[in-house]
Amino acid sequence: MDEYYTQLADALQDRLSVIADRTLREQDPAAHLERLQSASERIEKLKAALPRNADPMLVHYLQRSSLNKALEFVQHYLGARDH
């Protein structure tokens, strides 16, 4: 499950980074939209593969598209596993 959470964290971080990239959005809106769609598709694929034993809070965050909260949850999970 660690590999899944690592991929999810990467996808969430990528989407949040795209959202925050105002320069790209202003200079090339089409490229910004394309990157946003790609990042969103990655997250959707990972959501579809969510393990059945996933924590209900993570499921909740993903269902509500609470990306920051989902990322914090996954990072906390991965950090706890490293100790």
Domain ranges (residues) in the chain = 2-82
Long-range pairs, 67-72, Cβ under 8 A, ≥24: 67/12, 67/15, 67/16, 67/43, 68/16, 70/8, 70/12, 71/9, 71/12, 71/13, 71/16
Are the CB atoms for 70 and 61 separated by under 8 Å?
yes
Residues of the chain short of pLDDT 70, as ranges, are 82-83
- The reported pTM is 0.89
Q: What is the pLDDT of residue 83?
A: 53
Mean pLDDT of all residues belonging to the chain: 94
Q: What is the pLDDT of residue 21?
A: 97
- Cα–Cα distance measured from residue 8 to residue 25, given in angstroms and rounded to the nearest whole number: 24
